[in-house]
Amino acid sequence: MTALQDRFEALFSISTEISSTLELEEVLQRVVAHACRLMEARVASLLLIDKEAGTLRPAATYGASVDYLALPDREIDDSLTGEVVKTGLPLYIPDVREETRFRVADLARREGLCTLLAVPLRTKTDVIGVLNVYTGEPRCFEESDVRLLTLLATQSAIAIENATLHRDEMEARERLRQSEKLAALGKLSAGLAHELRNPLNTMSMLIYAMARELPADGPLGADLQIVQGELRRMSLLIEQFLEFARPRPPHFQRERLEEIMEETLLLLGPEARSRGIMIYKEWDKNLPRVWVDGTQIKQVFLNLLLNALQAMPNGGKLTVRLRESGGSLLTAITDEGEGIGPEARANLFQPFFTTKQGGTGLGLSISQRIIEGHNGRLRLFSRPGTGTTAIVRLPL
């Protein structure tokens, strides 16, 4: 009885420590570390619900190897841990290596994992994820163990929710600051961009005329081709900047999103084939129409699909999914590229930030503004080595 009391006293101290910070990543790491120690487990992991994708996303782990960390997101409707979300009840599996529904039993054997206890991360209003602990040897968890981990999960869910709200508030403030800066920048710079277009057009015409008078295989002809390419790149940058600084208002009408996607994929088909990329389309035939500006949405799809193709220089699989979910139509574009590191992810939607050679850094910024102009949301999910998924949510 004394040992049990000691564990509950330790739980009180742990809850206080977890709640002492509003940094989300720090909260998550503290939760899994304390869960592992409190339950004397080999590995602890924490999965958070991504409502837009309908998956459980690994958010933090303790004691796991690189192989475990590289596991893909779990489908809520088709996974064991998803049952914890749907039922709101703990899940106990005596030996995951022998459980036929546990899809990574081979990995569990390599990791030396045996018994699983999973409990819901429950706030006052909802289940936001799952907290798992794995032991290295068979263990029969007692009712007091389940209650202890459930209490830890409940306290952790509150801390995670508070940290998430704090992060969202900080991001909203930063977006407001950026919006104010960009509005001022747009007023000052749009005129300059217009002025630059005229001399650029003049230079382009003169260079074109000069190139026609010179032999194509001569040294000066080759130099002029390089100059023409750079002028085209500068013109594209100015056009994108003007579009970013002074976007046109959308012209809404009811559109079939799958038809817009089909047209965009048709444009990119040759590029995908030249890179050895297979495109897989997954959507129902009778999806509802969406109130959008078709031209602007096609531009968003084109930007996201080009990013996906360029992320796979050695070929691979590109999957495009469309589905109805909670009064919205979701589009998910998933590549098998190298993924995006944490530092780059933090700046992806910043204007002029790019990781691509010769990129302008405006594609994602423009795409985000278009989607927000449609009262939608654009998000990117990526981990190094596991590819990237771009999700567009548009209201019906």
Of 78-82, 186-190, 196-200, which has the strongest mean pLDDT?
A: 78-82
Task: Give 253's strand partners.
Answer: 292
Nearest CA among 266, 279, 329 for reference residue 308: 279
Query: Which residue, 159, 161, 100, 110, is CA-closest to 134?
Result: 110
pLDDT band at 65 (very low <50, low <70, confident <90, very high): confident
d(CA 59, CA 50): 11
Of residues 302, 317, 289, the one with CA closest to residue 262: 302
Q: Which of 81-90, 196-205, 227-236, 351-360 has the highest mean pLDDT?
A: 81-90
Q: What is the mean pLDDT of the chain?
A: 81
Angle between helix 24-38 and 143-213 (nearest 10): 140
pLDDT category at 192 given cuts 50, 70, 90 is low
Please give the full DSSP string across 295-360, using - where no structure is assigned.
HHHHHHHHHHHHHHHHT-TT-EEEEEEEEEETTEEEEEEE--S----HHHHHHTTSTT---STT--
* 334 backbone φψ class: left, alpha, beta (φ>0; ψ -120 to 50): beta
Q: Is the dihedral of CA 289, 291, 295, 297 positive or negative?
A: negative
